[in-house]
Amino acid sequence: MINKDLSIDFMGVHFENPFCLSSSPVGNCYDMCAKAFDEGWGGIVFKTIGPEHFKVDEVSPRFDELTKEGTPFVGFKNMEQIAEHPLDENLADLKKLKQNYPDKVVIASIMGTNEEDWVELARLVEEAGADMIEMNLSCPQMTSHEMGSDVGTNPKLVQKYCEAVKRGSSLPMMAKMTPNITDMVPAAKAALAGGADGIATINTVKSISNVDLEKKTALPIVNGKSSVSGFSGKAVKPIALRFIQQLRVAAGLEQLPISGIGGIETWEDAVEFILMGSTTLQVTTSVMQYGYRIVEDMKNGLMHYMEEQGVDHLADLVGLANKNIVPAEDLDRNYKVYPEIDWDKCIGCGRCFISCYDGAHQAISWDDKIRRPTIDTSKCVGCHLCALVCPVGAIHPGKIVMKPGREGDPEKVDVVSQRLH
């Protein structure tokens, strides 16, 4: 079995691997976090600890899932707030975790309602032995508007509270950002101005996942009503990657330490977040669906990827994709690539024909008798919708031609994805 060093340093703290539980129901007590450590997670962000005076009062039920055909948990909606255990108990758990797992990283997520709360919580978690602080500035379902994403969208408050945390503790600190904002850069810069050492993102996306057609309210139904609340899981991955990319390419943030969050469930997802600039990774939804054991395949898959890439230090992969994601106006628009059909794979379902006609440029014709498509290059624009709908992966990029009057060498155009289908 492959064994490679997955360790990485993040904000001055050494992680044996980049995989962490995110601050959520999956890290709600000592026993849960200890089990996660035992199963191989490198770090845990303990469920957000709030001030003594904020009483958590949860609804029941509190989750919902978005499905598609037979696939459960395409996305996950969650109404739970911060840790419901008493402050003392949470602090005692942090302390015990650090004592029993000295080589693992224990991160305290905290959330206050005012500067005093933030100072005090920061002091308390450092005293309890946490290695790192994460400021939760982003939970979208708090019952107080002085907490959560209402704070995280206000750069002034973000800076003020970051400064407060830094007054209360000298621990490395990351500010957890909300995606419920058009541009995350001003909030992230405010956090850094307030003393944050890095950014964790994304928290959940405000959502209504499903509507009950009889009761005429959203799910989950809480005694006849429901609320907007956070959405997570695979469906939010593209949104998370976009925010991380935009942070990493903002002027002055090129080396920003990021803990990436948002729909990670496979090693491929993990690599995507790393290539986009994440140093550590945080996971909740897939753990809620499958359990802590998923870390085994994420770690092993990541090791095989490093081996294939000839990389011995995980840090060498961080941010490698950032430079290859450019503004739309900077893309090469001088050529088009025609799809090519692999007749050994084609099973004659006609999906390419339907999608090309109804969703593209009517460039595929259909032979009823032999049940095979033909591509008409005079109409084909090279959009490759046909390749995406083909159920057997029989359509791939074929001949490349320069558009009329454009310069360039078709031989040198790079369009082939290596992703497994």
Partner 1 sequence: MTKKYQTEAPGYTMTTVMEEAARCLLCHDAPCSQACPAHTDPAKFIRSVRFRNIKGAAETIRENNALGAICARVCPTEKYCELACSRSGIDVPIDIGGIQRYVTDFEQAADMHILKKGNSNGMNVAIIGSGPSGLQAAVTLLEKGYGVDLYERQAKAGGYLTYGIPEYRLPSNIVDYEIKRITDMGANIHLNTTIGEDITMDQLKADNDAVIVAIGASESKVLPMFENNDAVETAVSFLARTKDAQGNIDLPKDAIVIGGGDVAMDVVTTLKKLGVKHVTDAAYEEFDEFRASKKELAGAEAEGVTILDGYIPDSIDGHTVTFKHRHMNSKLTIEADKIILAIGQTVNANNLGIRLEHGESPSAGYKTRDEKVFITGDIAQGDKTVVYAVQKGKEVADEIDSILGGNHND
Measuring CA to CA, which residue among 139, 143, 163 is closest to residue 151? 139
Interface region with partner 1, contact rule CB under 8 A, candidates 303-311, 313-321, 366-374, 405-413:
366-374
Least Å distance, CB 391 to partner 1, is 5
The reply on whether position 350 binds partner 1 by CB under 8 A is yes
Residues 178-217 that bind partner 1 (CB under 8 A): none
Residue with Cβ nearer partner 1 (55 or 369): 369
The one catalytic residue in 20, 29, 33, 139 is 139
- Give me 114's structure tokens: 């005012």
Residue closer to partner 1 (CB basis): 239 or 349: 349
User: Binding residues for partner 1, how many (CB under 8 A)?
Assistant: 15
Region from 51-59, 67-75, 234-242, 413-421 binding partner 1, contact rule CB under 8 A: 67-75
Candidates 61, 86, 291, 391; binder of partner 1 (CB under 8 A) is: 391
Cα 72 from Cα 95, distance rounded (Å): 37
Residue 349 touches partner 1, criterion: CB under 8 A: yes
Stretch of 127-135, 208-216, 310-318, 348-356 contacting partner 1, by CB under 8 A: 348-356
Q: Is 390 a catalytic residue?
A: no
Q: Is 359 near partner 1 (CB under 8 A)?
A: no
> Minimum Å distance from CB 350 to partner 1?
3
| Contacts to partner 1 from residues 6-65, by CB under 8 A | none
CB of 180 to partner 1, least distance (A): 29
Residue 70 interacting with partner 1 (CB under 8 A): yes
Least separation, in Å, of the C-beta of 370 and partner 1?
12
CB neighbours of 306 closer than 8 A, spacing ≥ 6? Answer: 4, 6, 312, 314, 317
Supply the minimum distance, in Å, between the C-beta of residue 233 and partner 1: 18
In terms of CB distance, is 331 or 370 closer to partner 1? 370
Of residues 95 and 361, the one with the C-beta less far from partner 1: 361
371 binds partner 1 (CB under 8 A): yes
The footprint of partner 1 (CB under 8 A) covers 69-71, 347-351, 353-354, 366, 368, 371, 391-392
Which are the catalytic amino acids?
A: 139
